[in-house]
Every structure is written in C-alpha cells, then in structure tokens.
Amino acid sequence: MRVLPMGPTAVIVEDVDDPAGWAAAFERNRPVGVVEVVPAARTVLVVAADERSLRALVDLMHHVGPPGGDGPAPAASEGAARSAATVVIDVDYDGPDLDRVAAAVGMSPDDVVACHAGAVYRVAFCGFAPGFAYLTGLPAELHLPRRTTPRTRVPAGSVAIASEYSALYPTASPGGWHLLGSTTATVFDVDRDPPAVLAPGTTVRFVPR
C-alpha cells in the first residue's frame, strides 16, 4: 500500500486490493479529523480537516484490516450502516442492446437476462455523474468493452454493462455502455438525505419484472 499526498489536507491510498472494503473498514470507526473517504477503482482518497489531523491519520492507514476481519469491530457509523444494506432493483429487460449483447457473448437474450439478474453486485465506487455507481460482480461471460460509438443520450433508469461493471443511469446523460433494460427506481434525488441510494459497499440485486 502506498500513501501519496494530494495537497495539504488529503492523501491518495494506492495498491489497495479492495478499495471499497478498505474504505468501509476505515469508516467503521471514523477517526477524528476525517472529512471524507472516497473509494475509486484502484485507489482511496482520504480528506482530513487540517494538516495536523492528516499526519495523525496517515499512521492509522497502515493498520486498517480487511473488511469482516477477526479483530473487534467498532460500532458502525450511519454511513457504514447504509453501505451494508442490500438494494433490490426491479428491471424490465427490454434494452436496445440486449440482442446485440446476446450475439456478442454467444447466448440467447433470455440467458443474458438470467446471467445478469442471477449475480450479486456491490458498489465499488461512484463517479461520472452524481449517483452513478460502478457495480462489481458482473459475470465474466458478460464482460464486453464499451460501445464503439457512445450514445448522446441514455435515458434515466437504464440498466447497463461495460467491461467488468454493471450500472444504473441515475439521470439522462451521454453514455457508451450496453443497455440491457430499464427500471423506474430512483437512485439519486437531490431532495433526499442522502441523495444517492447506491453508496460504496452497498449490495445490489437485479430482479426481472
């Protein structure tokens, strides 16, 4: 694990096997002085209140155990409790790319639906747009590169796959992922607290309608 400075009050933690799990373990008993912990695909950003707090936190980072370890677990924070939840998303598997994906992976459309809906996903990190969660757990049979030509507009609620991830578009936006279906679930709402339903560490299941 490498800890690199990111300005006077933040660091990037690199070479972490499971950034979302590491962030959750660090958050289980949120140290004094931590402002924010943000996992990404391969790194974790830790932001402190000031330079003094950051120096103290860096020493603690090297002692963060794996999630679910044998050591005593402190009481979970509200954010950690939310991320431990399971979110079930009802999906109409009627996406415009379903047949193309089926042909590309050598399955029938029904088999693609069964494969995608049969997996258990976990939010690894969020990015691209507010509330957009990158979900790990996509079966290897469905791993495909992004579309050669992105769409200029993907409807809100689209359920999609690309590379080793699945995702749900929280709002309408451009996008290059393969669209398998759609849902009416609202996973991001600025008037809700918290706005995003799919926080890092959250388990997600897709259920065909």
pLDDT tens digits for range 94-110: 999 999 999 999 999 99
Domain 85-208: CATH architecture, name and number where available: Beta Barrel (2.40)
pLDDT at 208: 97
Residues with Cβ within 8 Å of 184's Cβ and at least 6 positions away in sequence, in order, are 90, 157
**Residue 67 has what pLDDT?**
47
Cα 159 versus chain centre, distance: 14
What local confidence, expressed as pLDDT, does residue 96 receive? 97
**Hey, what are 69's tokens?**
């370890």
The predicted-structure confidence for 55-106, as pLDDT tens digits, reads as follows 888 877 877 754 444 333 333 334 444 445 799 999 999 999 999 999 999 9
In words, the CATH class of domain 2-81 is alpha beta
pLDDT at 56: 82
Low-confidence ranges of the chain (pLDDT < 70): 65-84
Domains of the chain by residue range: 2-81, 85-208
Task: Tell me what pLDDT residue 118 has.
Answer: 97
Task: Give the C-alpha distances (Å, rounded to integers) separating 13 from 21, 79, 174, 201.
Answer: 13, 20, 30, 17
